Amino acid sequence: MTAPASIPAMPLPRLIAAYFSDAKYESLRLFRTPAFSIPILAMPILFYTVFGVLMADGRTPTALANLTFVDWTVYGVMGPGLFGFGILVAVERNQGLLTFKRALPMPTGSYLSAKLAMAFVFAIAVMAMVAVLGVTAGHVVMPLARLVTIAAVMSLGVFPACAIGLFIGAWAPASSASAFANITYLGMAFLSGLFFHLPPAVAAFQPIWPTYHLAQLALASAGMHSQGSPLVHAAILAATTAGLILLAARRLSRAG
């Protein structure tokens, strides 16, 4: 092997390929890690089976069946980003992997974009599974076009989920990041009314949670009954995402 006399420039196709390669290996390794893939993929399916399939029957109104489906899809879509970033960033900071990656000529932002891509891959997988279950056994009745619209809008939920996860991953110690991610995930789902109707005193605080806004946005986009203005929901989700990323970036640039 001969060392180059000078460092060649990075051809653009190779640079783009590097982003794809990082995304591929990030998804692959998490798919092979049962501690991650099972809760992310199985939990929403399990919950939806209990609440959407076993507790429903032929007399369940379609509107309710569809609502249950949307709520549990929101839950499923938020998981990969929240856990993928929340736990992994904290652990990888702790294990020196992040430092190693920063020493390598890894393209700018590839570490995060790979995790974002992974979150999309897993989120789409969860949505597909919940949708198949809903249509075949959950008494969900809606045209395919509407299903696709809901899925597309839901995908936007990956961004705030990743931002929340990144915030946890940047600030929490590796040993407790998993606990923080779990509490946030379950707490957010409960308190935003995804699991069941909340008493009015608690329901008043639903708009704090991104899951609430995502669910309302999905319902509105599908022409189903929703609360508030879709534009406001979208703006709140975008602002939450941006704010949390900024806070996380501050921490990561300081602590590495």
Partner 1 sequence: MTVGGDGADAALARLSGVEKRYGAIVALDGLDLDVRSGELLAVLGPNGAGKSTAIALMLGLQRPDRGEVLLFGRSPHDLAARRGVGVMMQEVMLADALTVREHIAMTQAYYPAPLTLAEAIALADVEKIAGRPYLKLSGGQKRQAQFALAICGRPRLLFLDEPTTGLDLNARETMWATLRGLVAAGTSVVLTTHYIEEAEALADRVVVMAKGRRIAEGTVEEVRAIAVRKRIGCATTIAPAEMERWPGVVAVSAEDGRTSITAIDAESVVRRLLADPGLADLEVRRAGLSEAFAELTQERAQ
Read off the DSSP letter of residue 198.
P
Taking CB under 8 A as the criterion, the residue among 25, 141, 176, 246 binding partner 1 is: 25
* Range 104-123, binding partner 1 (CB under 8 A): 104-108
Angle at 34 between CA 252 and CA 180, to 5 degrees: 40
Q: Does 21 bind partner 1 (CB under 8 A)?
A: yes
- The least CB distance from residue 223 to partner 1, in Å, is 42
Cβ proximity to partner 1: between 32 and 197 the closer is 32
Half-sphere exposure of 149 (CA within 13 A, CB side): 13
- The least CB distance from residue 60 to partner 1, in Å, is 41
For residue 248, give the nearest of 192, 139, 167 by alpha carbon: 167
Task: Give the tokens for residue 30.
Answer: 């998490």
Q: Does 250 bind partner 1 (CB under 8 A)?
A: no
Taking CB under 8 A as the criterion, the residue among 61, 96, 187, 243 binding partner 1 is: 96
Q: Does 253 bind partner 1 (CB under 8 A)?
A: no
- The least CB distance from residue 8 to partner 1, in Å, is 4
Classify residue 6 as left (phi > 0), alpha (psi -120 to 50) or beta: beta
List b or e across 126-140, with b for residues whose CB sees 16 or more CB atoms inside 10 angstroms. bbebbbebbeeebbb
Q: Does 201 bind partner 1 (CB under 8 A)?
A: no
Q: Does 100 bind partner 1 (CB under 8 A)?
A: yes
Size of the site for partner 1 (CB under 8 A): 35
Read off the DSSP letter of residue 59.
T
Cβ proximity to partner 1: between 29 and 225 the closer is 29
Segment near partner 1 (CB under 8 A); pick from 77-85, 99-107, 202-210, 244-252: 99-107
Taking CB under 8 A as the criterion, the residue among 62, 95, 175, 176 binding partner 1 is: 95
Read off the DSSP letter of residue 53.
I
Binding mask 27-66 for partner 1 (x = CB under 8 A): -xxx-xx---------------------------------
Q: Does 11 bind partner 1 (CB under 8 A)?
A: yes
Task: List Cα–Cα distances, 151 to 45, 98, 120, 220, in angstroms.
Answer: 16, 32, 11, 13
Q: Does 103 bind partner 1 (CB under 8 A)?
A: yes
Q: Which residues contact 48 (CB under 8 A, 6 or more apart)?
A: 68, 69, 72, 76, 130, 133, 134, 138
**CA gap 209, 119 in Å, rounded:** 20
Angle at 103 between CA 100 and CA 108, to 5 degrees: 105
Binding site for partner 1 (CB under 8 A): 1-11, 14, 17-18, 21-22, 25, 28-30, 32-33, 95-97, 99-100, 102-108, 256
